[in-house]
Amino acid sequence: MTAQRNRVAVVTGAGSDQGIGFAAARLLGAGGNDVVITSTTDRIFTRVEELRAAGIRAEGVVADLTDQAGVDAVLACATDSFGGVDILVNNAGMTAVSDSYASGGTGSGFLDHWHASLDRNLTTTFLMTRAVTGPMQAAGYGRIVNVSSVSGPVAAYGGDVAYHAAKAGIVGLTRATAIDTAAAGITVNAVAPGWIDTASASPHERVMGAATPVGRSGTGDEVAHVIALLAGEGASYITGQVITVDGGNSIAEERGR
């Protein structure tokens, strides 16, 4: 990195004002990084204006990151606007409300859901990671933070097999990429949120959050602080790790107290 520019962070899946992605972008920007944020809708430009109002240099891109053209557009924006990418936060992805496969569903609908869930949760992470690792290796520096989940790598709930498979896949991708890039000064880590109270959280999810040892769901900001730690220059000897952010839920043996 040249001395003339700030570190540049790309954060995917940052369209919701209550989501983990936007919270991470806001915190990274407040820490002195320039920020490029993405989502699949033009609400991303409202988020850009909010970041700019806070004094953060920010740009936004509407992009489908399951497609290489969308990935290329994000990288081009970061390079043209700020000079490159030093930090990548792979947050794009979401669960789905469906139980057709849980009851033994078959046919094109089942397979369509499977492929769509893996694409938006795992393929987006893979394509973005692949796109930035070359430039990061050339620069001798990089921070990649993947947003996985406790759902899949640590635990599971009923009704979304594909989501669990994708989020577990992110952990494998994280560890393998960490090994491949460690010698080049790149760290690759993951965070695994539990019940987080975002705009998309259902009433059931909030009830589950209240049953955690902490007694509530987490917030996007609480996950973002862990992301910012892993994205920082000081985290240079942490790579291939998964940090769970779930209020102690995954370690509690006693339930329903």
Q: CB under 8 Å to 132, separation ≥6 — which residues?
A: 10, 75, 85, 88, 142, 144
Q: Among 236, 183, 233, which Cα is nearest to 1's?
A: 233
Residue carrying structure tokens 């989502």: 39
Q: Which backbone phi and psi does 32 adopt, to 5 degrees?
A: 100, 5
Q: Residue 163 catalytic?
A: yes
Q: 3-state class of 11 per DSSP?
A: strand
Q: What angle do CA 117, 121, 125 make, to 5 degrees?
A: 145
Which parts of the chain fold into alpha helices (H)? 20-30, 44-53, 68-82, 108-118, 124-139, 161-181, 203-210, 220-231
Tell me which of 101, 157, 163, 237 is the catalytic residue: 163
The tokens of 96 are what?
Answer: 């789905």
Q: Are the CB atoms for 214 and 248 separated by under 8 Å? A: yes
Residue carrying structure tokens 């990084």: 33
Neighbour count for residue 24 (Cβ, 10 Å): 32
Query: Which residues are known catalytic residues?
Result: 163
